[in-house]
Structure 1
Amino acid sequence: MRRRLALAAVTAAGALALAGCGGSGSGGSGSGSDTAELSVDSAYMPQPVSDLAAGFLVISNKGGADDRLTSVGSDIAERVTVHETVDGSMREVDGLDIPARGSLVLESGGSHLMFEQLKRKPKQGQKVSVELRFAHSDPVTVEIPVKSATHTPKHGH
């Protein structure tokens, strides 16, 4: 029994040492426990009714390091900003944290993306390309589907 435990410990230590020998760890592509591993899902944009639009999505981090959404870009708007809602009041922020082994939920009534000064108004059924930029990970490009202006996700964010 002791021999099996010792062998398991040596194997685990070797695997950890090898995991640490990876590249510089850009965050988005590493699988080690010291990097963020980001993925995006549940993205949508309600069809805009003015020169403003909102964007909602979930950024999951399966990695062992925190990261931060720092900025967003899209060719559809002059500016895309990150907002949080606190006590019913919306305000622009310079970024939002994505905890290790956790997620950042951007949802109606909470933190979200604001597309300002739209260059065109996308219609329901179209997709909007958005680049999410992070403090540590490589940028992630997401194709956000445009839903009806009154869309409510079936599985809440």
Structure 2
Amino acid sequence: MRRRTAVLAAGALAGALTLTGCSGSASGPDRAELSVSSPYMPQPVSADMAAGFLTITNKGGAGDRLTSVSSDVAGQVTMHSTEGGAMAEKSSFAVPAHGRLVFESGGNHLMFEKLKHAPKQGQTVTVRLTFARSGRLTVEMPVQSATYHPSTGH
């Protein structure tokens, strides 16, 4: 049986974050326990593209995979890794048991492509994260200044 959970967390630098997701009703070592922290989108400098960053923490004993990301603000949201200065689009990312998946400037990141409108600093963007085992989490991602770099978090 699956149940809906809601978690509300406030980040000192990132603003309010709301999650809604599905998870198994039993706890234990065979379940992922996902939460999201430090979400933000720098105000886009381009009319049709923006980046997004956040950290996904898994306190459970089972791994999961982030398989897709979507948002009403963009025609599509793609996931990218950056290694050795080279960016590559990825179809999924592992979220290890008792581990984290970090999307940060200069590393893994989300690309909001074909923006329907350019989000402005102070607004929030709704982002849906879909996981192979845990279902969907909905995140409210605050739009920060184009030069924002968190000093804490990841």
TM-score for both structures, normalised by structure 1: 0.81
Establish whether residue 42 from structure 1 lines up as the match of residue 30 from structure 2: no
- Judged with a 3 Å threshold, the aligned counterparts in structure 2 of structure 1 residues 24 and 132 are, in CA distance, closer, same or farther, namely closer
For residue 132 of structure 1, report the CA deviation from its aligned partner.
0.1
- Structure 2 distance, partners of 1:151, 1:120, is 20
Q: Secondary structure at the match of 1:110?
A: coil
Q: Secondary structure at the match of 1:48?
A: coil
- Structure 2 distance, partners of 1:42, 1:67, is 20
Q: Secondary structure at the match of 1:28?
A: strand
- Residues 27, 136 of structure 1: 8 Å contact kept: no
- Percent identity, aligned pairs only, is 61
- Structure 2 distance, partners of 1:46, 1:29, is 34
Deviation digits for residues 88-113 of structure 1 (CA, Å, limit 9, x no counterpart): 01110111110001110000000010
The count of aligned residue pairs is: 135
- Structure 2 distance, partners of 1:29, 1:44, is 28
For residue 138 of structure 1, report the CA deviation from its aligned partner.
1.6
Correspondence 1:58-73 to 2 at 5 A: 58-73=55-70
- Residues 94, 101 of structure 2: 8 Å contact kept: yes
Residue 20 of structure 1 is matched in structure 2 by none
Correspondence 1:14-93 to 2 at 5 A: 23=1, 28-30=23-25, 31-50=27-46, 51-93=48-90
Residue 11 of structure 2 is matched in structure 1 by none
Residue 109 of structure 1 is matched in structure 2 by 106
- Judged with a 3 Å threshold, the aligned counterparts in structure 2 of structure 1 residues 87 and 140 are, in CA distance, closer, same or farther, namely same
Residue 13 of structure 1 is matched in structure 2 by none
Decide which structure has greater strand share: 2
TM-score for both structures, normalised by structure 2: 0.83
Establish whether residue 128 from structure 1 lines up as the match of residue 144 from structure 2: no
Q: Could you tell me which amino acid in structure 2 is paired with residue 28 of structure 1? A: S
- Structure 1 distance, partners of 2:123, 2:153, is 22
Question: What is the root-mean-square deviation in Å for CA atoms of aligned residues?
Answer: 1.6
Establish whether residue 152 from structure 1 lines up as the match of residue 149 from structure 2: yes
Stretches of structure 2 lacking an aligned partner (at least 5 in a row): 4-20
- Residues 46, 146 of structure 1: 8 Å contact kept: yes
- Residues 38, 153 of structure 2: 8 Å contact kept: no
Larger Rg: 1
